[in-house]
């Protein structure tokens, strides 16, 4: 079995240190094969916020955990206009990861990160044509029996967010073609601060068979209708279990678990457990 912990939207600078400590403890206890962090490490891309993120990552890595990260829109400076356009991700690359297209091949899964954070389309992000080619080429040369996972900060789909709809990343229709052609199984993203799991085909008609897994914010104090949470993802051959671990005021506890089974080119819900995290 391959086990991932999927964190997102840590937002150092607008974070709760109690939750940061709780997340670290859970990572140590669960000992996943990989920790995936889908962007928004900081609140305002300031140096001291990146330094806090860096210390968090160092503690995880020193304890022996592998981490795969992509930047989010909050990791690009918003008000520092010179830096925003001339060197938008310099601090991210110095303090978080020096690659913007990380690839990790672990037993049972191939995980590719794609940077969607941009200076111009600041909030909604974008995927380039080169990145779409890169997705296709990467999965052409990786293990065909391994579960294929793509990680972005911005979701590739428009998703309901309260009464409104949060838009998909720029060029999402073309990106979905690449994802479908590359046979990607799981799409992991954040940005909306809301945890959810969907079949890609239930969201748009022209999509591959991917399971769309959104993580909430793990440690930010800025919430949208949901408590802080992270996802635990267990992959066992053709079966994937996604458990949302939600903050209940004193600990992260499983609130919602769903198991999906691969049936041809579709993920079928095999089991669903909904639990209200005890307050």
Cβ at position 8, least distance to Fe ion in Å: 7
9 contributes a contact to Fe ion by CB under 5 A: yes
Cβ at position 238, least distance to Fe ion in Å: 32
Residue 72 or 77: the one with the smaller Cβ distance to Fe ion is 72
43 contributes a contact to Fe ion by CB under 5 A: no
Of 23-31, 58-66, 190-198, 234-242, the segment contacting Fe ion by CB under 5 A is: 190-198
Size of the site for Fe ion (CB under 5 A): 5
Of 6-14, 91-99, 205-213, 253-261, the segment contacting Fe ion by CB under 5 A is: 6-14
Print the binding letters for residues 130-169 with Fe ion: x by CB under 5 A, - otherwise.
----------------------------------------
73 contributes a contact to Fe ion by CB under 5 A: yes
219 contributes a contact to Fe ion by CB under 5 A: no
Query: Of 6, 171, 191, 259, which lies in the binding site for Fe ion, with binding defined by CB under 5 A?
Result: 191
40 contributes a contact to Fe ion by CB under 5 A: yes
Q: Compute, in degrees rounded to 10, the torsion defined by CA atoms 205, 207, 211, 216.
A: -80
Residue 159 or 235: the one with the smaller Cβ distance to Fe ion is 159
125 contributes a contact to Fe ion by CB under 5 A: no
Cβ at position 90, least distance to Fe ion in Å: 19
Of 1-9, 99-107, 157-165, 244-252, the segment contacting Fe ion by CB under 5 A is: 1-9
HEC per residue, the chain: CEEEEEECCCCECCECHHHHHHHHHHHHHHCCCEEEEECCCECCCCHHHHHHHHHHHHHHHHCCCCEEEECCHHHCCCCCHHHHHHCCCHHHHHHCCCCCCCEEEECCEEEEECCCCCCCCCCCCECCHHHHHHHHHHHHCCCCCCEEEEECCCCCCCEEECCEEECCCECHHHHHHHHHHCCCCEEEECCCCCCEEEEHHHHCCCCCCCEEEECCCCCECCCCCCCCEEEEEEEECCEEEEEEEEECCCCEEEEEEEEEEEECCEEEEEEEEECCCCC
Interface residues toward Fe ion, by CB under 5 A? 9, 40, 72-73, 191
């Amino acid at each position: 079995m391959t086990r991932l912990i999927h964190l997102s939207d840590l937002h150092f600078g607008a974070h709760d240190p109690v939750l940061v400590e709780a997340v670290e403890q859970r990572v140590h206890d669960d000992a996943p094969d990989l920790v995936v962090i889908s962007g928004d490490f900081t609140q305002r891309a300031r140096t001291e916020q990146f330094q806090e993120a860096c210390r968090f990552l160092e503690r995880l890595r020193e304890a022996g955990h592998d981490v795969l990260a992509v930047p989010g829109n909050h990791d690009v400076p918003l008000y520092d206009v010179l830096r925003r356009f001339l060197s938008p991700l310099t601090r991210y690359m110095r303090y978080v990861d020096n690659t913007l297209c990380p690839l990790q091949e672990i037993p049972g899964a191939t995980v590719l990160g794609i940077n969607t954070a941009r200076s111009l389309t600041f909030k909604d992000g974008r995927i380039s044509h080169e990145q779409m080619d890169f997705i296709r080429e990467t999965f052409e040369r990786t293990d065909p029996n391994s579960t294929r996972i793509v990680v972005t900060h911005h979701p590739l789909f428009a998703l309901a967010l309260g009464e409104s709809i949060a838009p998909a990343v720029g060029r999402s229709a073309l990106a979905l073609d690449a994802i479908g052609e590359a046979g990607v199984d799981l799409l992991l993203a954040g940005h909306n601060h809301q945890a959810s799991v969907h079949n890609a085909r239930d969201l748009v008609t022209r999509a591959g068979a991917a399971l769309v897994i959104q993580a909430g914010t793990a440690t930010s104090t800025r919430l949208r209708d949901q408590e802080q949470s992270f996802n635990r993802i267990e992959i066992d051959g053709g079966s994937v279990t996604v458990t949302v671990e939600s903050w209940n005021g004193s600990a992260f506890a499983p609130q919602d678990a769903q198991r999906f089974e691969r049936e041809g080119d579709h993920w079928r819900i095999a089991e669903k457990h909904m639990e209200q995290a005890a307050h």
